[in-house]
A and B are shown apart, each in its own frame.
Chain A
Amino acid sequence: MKGLLTCFIAVMKTKLAEQMAYRSHFFLSLAMLIAGDLVVPLITLLVYRSGASFPGWTLHEAMLIQAVFTLAKGIAFPFFFGMVGSTLVHVREGTFDLLLLKPRPVLFMSMLSGFDPDDFGRVVSGGVLLAFALSGLPSPAALDWFIFLLLFAASVAVLASFSFIMAALLFRWVGSSRVYDIFDAVTSFGMYPGTIFSKAFQQLFTYVLPIGMIAFVPAQALLGQGEWGTAVMALAAVVFLLLGTVFWHRMLRSYTSAGG
């Protein structure tokens, strides 16, 4: 375990050094991330400015969901999401084998090689959004914050699992950058109040594909609508993470036993 941690820190250092080699590029892509994250909130703002709303949700409440969504990405993406891109490139160029030559768990190596500090930039945009949303809301109680943090961890787990599934697909589906499009499309349901969807979809996003867990459920906790019952829903996230990990390993197995 200690070995893995030293490993992780060493890689993180080199990745930061790598980024700093192109400082201007680093800051530009940071700006780009922040701008990209603000598109959906901008549209939400435009809708509310026109006098319309999501029924039962104030602007600040709706923004809170989008803030949590961005924050969860800001934590999950640097660690997990980069492996999607690195797997894409490694498998296409035949260099994934280099990771298999390292004396560490392959999933761990894969995550390390994809570690992407750029993505921490989303914490900034998420933080700005969160501050804006909270400014128009009654401040949450300590217990609400506690439940929120628990659910937020579940949210990160869901995003990690999505990353594993996407990376695993790329073992077979060589070089398809469109896994990103699938991810963006499927998770876009998670940026809006769950109540706007039909009952069937709400069930689907809670128990089958826990997209509601990414932002909607944790945000509800901060709105004081969370309770210990919702914390149980975090279990769905844990199961999803497990499934993602198993799927990744199965695809790796088929990768190392096929091909030539």
Chain B
Amino acid sequence: MRSSVIRSMGAVGAATYKEWAAYRSHMAVSLLVGPVYYLVQYFIWQAVYEGRDTLNGLTLDEMLAYFGIAAVIHYLIFDFADWNLQMLVRTGKFVTFAMRPMPHWLFALSQKLGHRTLGFWIEFVPIGLLFLFVFQVDLIPAHPWLAAASIALSFMMNFLVNYCVGLTAFWLVRAEGIRRVILLLKDITAGVFVPLSFFPEAMQKVLFFLPFQFITYVPTRVMLGEYELAGITLSAGEAVLMQLGAVASAWIVMLLVYRLALKRFTGVGV
């Protein structure tokens, strides 16, 4: 039973890998986009740090490392499960999945694994090397095993959050706008645009209890070696433990919403 699940996941992942390999030129755009964004950040923070050593507890080197690491992590955990799922629901194609012996969320997760395997070669490796050797970003984690665990957890967290956003399509068929707002807020509160320690103290307390920090902020801070938010300082190990708890809860929530969605699908026939 176990092995058959893994086999199906492998098959779905491999098919996705091949499907997307045909569009590798689309993916390779990241080789331009990633470094360009990093350059912008480089100039911004160079200017901002003029005449000062630290800003919100981070030195210039740490700040640049933050953006470099966040960018590289992005290529490992990138996800569009929300878009895919809402498209399946809107076009009525979801019905073909409702009839398969594999739950759709597992199918989507396998797809993401396949898609990111391709992204690993096309995006992560070349951009990582470029950042490491050309831009001299310190990408070597302080605690490699904890960093790997943290990135794996953020991979899951990103999937779970996006999949839940996609599941809203069962109730809100034409709400592309709402989903885009949620995803934008997700990126802001995950720390994609600026480290979360830049937000006002009160905001930081709210951000601490939202699931989004576990997508970008936590793994990036773990890579840097230490975690700090809302006045709470944690070691890398403690941060990963907290992340594990968050991912487990998010997984449970996703499964619950998934069950509700299927109930609605078979009951009302969205």
> What are the interface flags for A22-63 relative to B under an 8 Å C-beta threshold, 1 for contact and 0 otherwise?
100100110110011001101100110111111100000000
Do A49 and B200 touch across chains, with their CB atoms under 8 A apart? yes
Do B55 and A50 touch across chains, with their CB atoms under 8 A apart? yes
Stretch with Cβ within 8 A of B (4 or more), from A104-112, A155-163, A190-198, A214-222 = A190-198
Do B184 and A35 touch across chains, with their CB atoms under 8 A apart? yes
CB of B238 closer than 8 Å to a CB of A: no
Do A55 and B47 touch across chains, with their CB atoms under 8 A apart? yes
For B51, what are the chain A residues with a Cβ–Cβ distance below 8 Å?
Answer: 55
Do A196 and B200 touch across chains, with their CB atoms under 8 A apart? no
Q: Which residue of A is nearest B178, CB measured?
A: A28
Q: Give the number of residues in A that approach B within 8 Å (Cβ atoms).
A: 40
CB of B99 closer than 8 Å to a CB of A: no
Chain B contact residues: helix, strand, loop or mixed? helix
> What are the interface flags for B15-39 relative to A under an 8 Å C-beta threshold, 1 for contact and 0 otherwise?
0000000010110011011001101
Cross-chain contact of A32 among B36, B56, B177 (Cβ < 8 A): B177
CB distance from B83 to the nearest CB of A (A): 10
Do B181 and A181 touch across chains, with their CB atoms under 8 A apart? no
- Which residue of B25, B32, B33, B174 has the most chain A CB atoms within 10 A of its CB atom? B33
Cross-chain contact of A25 among B33, B46, B52, B177 (Cβ < 8 A): B177
Do B37 and A55 touch across chains, with their CB atoms under 8 A apart? no
Do B177 and A31 touch across chains, with their CB atoms under 8 A apart? yes
CB interface residues, B 192-226, toward A, < 8 Å: 193-194, 198-200
Contact size range, B: 35 or more
Do A182 and B184 touch across chains, with their CB atoms under 8 A apart? no
CB distance from B189 to the nearest CB of A (A): 12
Do A173 and B25 touch across chains, with their CB atoms under 8 A apart? yes
CB of A13 closer than 8 Å to a CB of B: no
For B26, what are the chain A residues with a Cβ–Cβ distance below 8 Å?
Answer: 175-178
How many angstroms between the C-alpha atoms of A131 and B32 in the bound complex?
A: 35
Do B180 and A32 touch across chains, with their CB atoms under 8 A apart? yes
Do A50 and B36 touch across chains, with their CB atoms under 8 A apart? no
Do B198 and A39 touch across chains, with their CB atoms under 8 A apart? no
Q: Which residue of B is nearest A197, CB measured?
A: B43
CB of A185 closer than 8 Å to a CB of B: yes
The answer to whether A31 and B181 touch (CB under 8 A), given A46-B198, A176-B25, A196-B47, is yes
CB interface residues, A 191-208, toward B, < 8 Å: 192-193, 195-198, 201
Do A198 and B43 touch across chains, with their CB atoms under 8 A apart? yes
CB of A255 closer than 8 Å to a CB of B: no
CB of A188 closer than 8 Å to a CB of B: yes
The answer to whether A185 and B33 touch (CB under 8 A), given A32-B184, A39-B188, is yes
Do B198 and A50 touch across chains, with their CB atoms under 8 A apart? yes
For B56, what are the chain A residues with a Cβ–Cβ distance below 8 Å?
Answer: 50
Do B47 and A185 touch across chains, with their CB atoms under 8 A apart? no
Q: Which residue of A is nearest B197, CB measured?
A: A50
Do A46 and B32 touch across chains, with their CB atoms under 8 A apart? no
How many angstroms between the C-alpha atoms of A257 and B215 in the bound complex?
A: 47
CB of A247 closer than 8 Å to a CB of B: no
Do A39 and B174 touch across chains, with their CB atoms under 8 A apart? no
CB of A186 closer than 8 Å to a CB of B: yes
CB of B61 closer than 8 Å to a CB of A: no
For B181, what are the chain A residues with a Cβ–Cβ distance below 8 Å?
Answer: 28, 31-32, 35
CB of B40 closer than 8 Å to a CB of A: yes
How many angstroms between the C-alpha atoms of A177 and B252 in the bound complex?
A: 33
- Which residue of A55, A178, A201 has the most chain B CB atoms within 10 A of its CB atom? A178
Do B40 and A181 touch across chains, with their CB atoms under 8 A apart? no
How many angstroms between the C-alpha atoms of A186 and B33 in the bound complex?
A: 8
Do B29 and A178 touch across chains, with their CB atoms under 8 A apart? yes
For A145, what are the chain B residues with a Cβ–Cβ distance below 8 Å?
Answer: none
How many angstroms between the C-alpha atoms of A233 and B195 in the bound complex?
A: 37
For A195, what are the chain B residues with a Cβ–Cβ distance below 8 Å?
Answer: 47
Do A29 and B29 touch across chains, with their CB atoms under 8 A apart? no
CB of B6 closer than 8 Å to a CB of A: no
CB of A189 closer than 8 Å to a CB of B: yes
How many angstroms between the C-alpha atoms of A201 and B42 in the bound complex?
A: 13
How many angstroms between the C-alpha atoms of A245 and B30 in the bound complex?
A: 26
How many angstroms between the C-alpha atoms of A9 and B169 in the bound complex?
A: 35
How many angstroms between the C-alpha atoms of A185 and B30 in the bound complex?
A: 10
CB distance from A248 to the nearest CB of B (A): 20
Besides the known contacts A49-B200, A185-B33, 10 further A-B residue pairs in the complex with CB atoms under 8 A apart: A22-B174, A31-B181, A32-B177, A47-B48, A50-B198, A176-B23, A178-B33, A185-B36, A185-B37, A188-B37
Can you offer 19 A-B residue contacts whose CB atoms are under 8 A? Answer: A28-B177, A43-B194, A47-B194, A55-B50, A176-B29, A177-B26, A178-B26, A178-B29, A181-B30, A182-B32, A182-B33, A184-B33, A188-B36, A189-B39, A192-B40, A192-B44, A196-B43, A196-B46, A197-B43
Q: Top 10 nearest A-B pairs by Cβ distance?
A: A28-B177, A196-B47, A178-B29, A185-B36, A185-B33, A46-B198, A29-B177, A52-B48, A176-B26, A43-B194
